[in-house]
Structures are given as C-alpha cells and as structure tokens.
Structure 1
Amino acid sequence: MKNPWNVPQKLPLVAGHEGAGIVVKMGKDVKGYKEGDRVGITLLNRTCQTCEFCKYGGKETFCITPEYLGFGTSGSFGTFQQYIAVPTSNAHLIPEGVDLAKAAPIQCAGWTVYRALKETDTKPGQFVAITGAGGGLGSFALQFAKAMGLRSIAIDFGDSKRDHCLKQGAEFFVDAKKQDVIEEVRRVTNGLGPHGVVNIAPAIKPIEDALKYLRKTGTLVLQGTLTACEFSNSRFFLKFS
C-alpha cells in the first residue's frame, strides 16, 4: 500500500504475494493437477520460459521478464482476492491435512530462505550462520536448517530473540549487542567459522562481520535488501566463495 520501494505501479491493483487455495477450474492443457487439489502459489507468478535463466539450470527466479503477484508492475493482481489464475509452473501441491493458512507464508518467506540455504551448498552436520534469525524469514530458516541436518548459529539480539531462536531449532545463539559476533561465531565452530552464512539482516555490519568469520571455501548468501531498489533486483543472491 505504501510502496516503500517506489516501484512503478499500474493501478488499480489487488495486493498479496503469497497464498494457498483450492483448484476450481483448469485450462484444457493443464496436466498433473485436478479440481479439488490444494495448491500454494508464489510471488513469482509467471516467467517467460524462453530466456537463458528459464531454459537452463533451474534459474527461472532470475527471469528477464518476470511477473510478480500484487506489486502492480505488470498488472498481475495478488492473492487478496477470491479467485486467481496461476500457471502450473508456479503452483505447488500441498498435502492433505496441512492448514492452508499456515502453508501460505511458505510460498514466499519459506521459499526465500529455503533457496538461500540450498545456495550455501552446506551438508548435514555442517555449520550455517543466520543473521537476523529472530525475524519471520529467520524463523523459517532455522526450522529448515534443522530439518536439513545443519548446525545453525542464530545471530540476533535480546533474550526474547534468544529464546525464540532456540525454540525454532538453533543450536547456538549469538547476541550481536552483548557479544563479539566474529569471536563468538568462530568459537562455536572450533575456530574455523561456519560453512555457510545466510544474511537476512538488512544492514551492512552483519555482512562485514560474516566476511571475517566465514570459513575458508564457505559461501555467503545475501538475502536482506540493504537499500530501496527495483524489486526485481532485490531477488538476486550474491555469493562470495
């Protein structure tokens, strides 16, 4: 509503960029789905399927001409409406018994950090540090990391964030206001640093710290948006190996 990124919008528009619902009608060429299926839909609603990123290596999130839900950049209305048309490439089956209201946020916040964790190329038993771990994306990242067998180091500040992060599956918590982050992260990783870092915190200092404590050959994935920018650019992952 406030458009803090100053994205050129086409009005009117319906907001909402993550959702889950029931299939009620299908196009004649749709395969793999049926009426009554429960599906989730993502922020990235359509891709061209013809550019280099779409055609090779599963990098369609970097599509040159993407269409996002609910941002008014391409006339694509979002999920705050009763019905929505979704291409099969961006629909995901949701198992029976999963609350659709709980499944909906996974379609953006969840996918975002899951992809980031995969980009670190960490393996079960290895360390991954997550900055801004006590927030919404960080909470998902900690849960995914635990499910993936990773040893997560949550970086945030405050006792309430500590309790929350440990409850979400963090093995270690580093208080950025009370502790020397670089020293503490290296201490809990036997002096070598984590194998991967997912930087969610939208600030420069956590990135500078990560470059100093990251293990040799480790990977840093920048997730947080540091400044106001074109929305499409904010989706890119930058990797330092």
Structure 2
Amino acid sequence: MANQDLPKTMKAHVLAEFATPYQLQELPLPSIDDPNDILIKVDAASYCHTDAVLASGKMHPPPLPHIGCHEFAGTVVQVSKDPHGLKVGDRVAVPGRGNHVCGECFECRNPSGPMPDDPGYSVYCPNTGGGLGVGNKAGGFREYAIVDCRQVAIIPDGMSAVEAAPLMCAGLTIYAALRKCELRPGQRVGVMGCGGGLGHLGLQFATKMGLKTMGVDVNSQALELARSLQTSATIIDSSAETPEDVKGDMKREDGGENPAEIGLDAVIILPDSQKSWDYGMKLLKNGGLLVLVSFPPEGFHISADDLVFRRIRVTGSLIGSNKAMKEMFDFVVKHDIKAKIRTYPFSKLNQLVDDYHAGAGGKLVLDMHLNE
C-alpha cells in the first residue's frame, strides 16, 4: 500500500472508563514520529488476561482513554528512515514489550537470563512508559498501529496473522518461562493452569522439548481443552487429586523411596490463586524451581519452610526477549504448535470479552478480515 493510499482516519476500540464496555470510535490515523517506528495495518489482535486486568482498573491502570491489546500482528504499510530491514508489505508480529527502549539503563546495557537481547536493547527496559497496549501507548485493538520496528518479528511463511498474534504474549511468555526452568529432556515440569491461553501452549512446548509434563487445572472446560490437545502430558484435576496423590503416582513410576527426591523438577504458576501456588509448591521435589508468571494484586504467601528446609528456588518470568521470540517461531514451525483459537470480527470485541469472562478456553482473537 503506497503512502498516498492510506486513509485519514481509522476505527479503534477505546476504553473510556474502567469496568465498562469498549467504545468503537473513529480516530485520526497515527503518524510516524520516531525513526524506529513503522505503521502497520492490524490483521489480528488477540485478547489476554492482562487486558482484562487492565480494563478492570484493579492493577497497573493505564491512563484513560486507553486502546488495549499487546499481542497482535499486521502488515507494514509505512516505514521510517531507518526501518531496520523491514519494508512495506512485510507481515510482522508485535509483542507489547520493548517499545522505544532507552538503550542506556542497566537492563539495556546488561541484558540477562536465557536468550538475552544484545546489549543496548532490552524488553525489560523500565524507561519505556509501558509497553504497547499495557502502558501509556496504544495497542492493537485498532485498524492501524504505530510500532517500534526493533520489537517485531517477521511472521513465518505459511502462518496466518491470526495464528501469530496469540504467540506474542501467551506463546512468548510461556516459552520463556519454560526456557528459564533450564531443564534437560526427561526431567519433570508442571504447568499450573494448563487449560488457559498460556497453559495449553505450555503443554505443547514442554512435551516437544522432551520434558515429562504435568498439566494441572480445576475448571472443567480448561481440563477438556488440555486433554483435547492429545499431547503426552499427564493432566490432573486438582479438585479430584491431592498433591500427595500425584506424588504417589510419580513414586510408583520412578521406584523412588526418599520423599524429598520425589516430585517435579520445576513448576510454572499461571493462575493468580493461592491454592494454585500451594498445590504447585507441594508437587516440587526438594531443590526444585518455582517459576512465577502471574501477579495478583494481593501477592502470594510463601512458606519459609519451603525455601529454607526444602531448598525450593523461586523466580519470576515476564516475557521473552526478541531472541527468544525468533527461537520460539522456529520451534513452533518445526513442531507444528498451534493455539486453540476462536475468532471474532473486529466490531465484536465486547462479545469476545463477554465470552472470555464466561470461561471460553484457548485464545480469543479479533480477525480483521472476518466478515460480520
């Protein structure tokens, strides 16, 4: 699309007040003001649990009015003077983090963790004012969006924008959390909340990594979704089996006798409930690793006994680096990993939100090319 063919205005879903429906409004087309920026025509915008939290105003409330969505994908329609190799017509996937990093702070100068970014760039930069759709910058619930060309990834051939969008938060976050576990094939990992957006992708990633995978959930719809994936993961209904029951099965499988040596090597906590934390913690063997992804406003209670006497290690994980994003796409293509997706026309965002709160599983995505 040539620049002269771009419209003057666009439609966008705007959150005018917290805990209210989105309003579909006509807004001016955003303009490129930074040499690292590109303009994309949004092709798909995926809904995340964080979108629900932000829209409620209960945690990290963004300034209003707000345009949400931090996992989306689209087509480049305009580039800046330094597009870093991107050109008009490229299909790109966009995560929320890493927008306009400062390049000078400690995080940018000293990227760390599995698959860190190169020095001078970090998705954890604290000086961005928040990521796209989660801070003071508009996200993907609109027809056109300005994005930092340094934070995007080219969508692999054969993958649609609808398939790519959920990978930009749900996929990248759970992939990075699994890599942070630093496990070897054959070791055990648990995914608490295995039937949600992140969880069902985590089951696919973990089993394809060669890990003995256990998925735990309590919601019947979530459990059904997790089982429908037909991975090699063991799916546990936490309302029907206690951690002691589950460890008993592992003891019989491994033939172990020492209780301290029986359990998961790592567990990833996705839900924001204390019950999920406690259940996952009890599944760990001594010296195991708990990777926390959720962030409820009230926090979690941590037992000192687990840290001091059982040597349980606890770390947090937010989202993967750009290096992790590229590696994840390679992994997804190689192993044919796909999110379970339900699509909606662009105008039906509020219906999507209602379905999300009603417990619809998988990932819910606005498909900009879907007819009413």
Equivalent in 70, 75, 80 of residue 133 of structure 2: 70
SS of equivalent to 1:130: strand
Equivalent in 105, 108, 112 of residue 54 of structure 1: 108
1:201 aligns with 271
Q: Gaps spanning 5+ residues in structure 1: where?
A: 230-237
Of Structure 1 and Structure 2, the greater strand share is in 2
1:133 deviates by 0.7
For 1:184-195, list aligned pairs within 5 A: 184-185=246-247, 187-188=249-250, 190=254, 192-195=262-265
For 1:108-147, list aligned pairs within 5 A: 108-147=169-208
Equivalent in 292, 315, 326 of residue 239 of structure 1: 315
Equivalent in 15, 26, 34 of residue 79 of structure 2: 26
Of 148-157 and 183-192, deviating more is: 183-192
Q: Is the Cα–Cα contact under 8 Å of residues 73 and 164 in structure 2 kept in the other structure? A: yes
CA distance change for structure 1 residues 172 and 52 in 2, over 3 Å: closer, same or farther?
same
CA distance change for structure 1 residues 7 and 170 in 2, over 3 Å: closer, same or farther?
same
Distance 1:185 1:21 in 2: 45
Alpha-carbon displacement from aligned partner over 1:180-212 (angstroms, at most 9, x marks no partner): 124304533635211111111211122223333
TM-score (norm 1): 0.85
1:172 aligns with 234
C-alpha RMSD of the superposition: 2.3
Q: Sequence identity, in percent?
A: 30
Distance 1:80 1:159 in 2: 30
1:45 deviates by 4.4
The one-letter amino acid paired with 1:187 is D
The one-letter amino acid paired with 1:41 is V
TM-score (norm 2): 0.57
2:243 aligns with 181
Distance 2:196 2:141 in 1: 23
1:63 deviates by 1.9
The one-letter amino acid paired with 2:164 is A
How many residue pairs get aligned? The number is 230
CA distance change for structure 1 residues 193 and 101 in 2, over 3 Å: closer, same or farther?
same
Q: Which is greater in Rg? A: 2
Equivalent in 62, 80, 83 of residue 9 of structure 1: 62
The one-letter amino acid paired with 2:269 is N
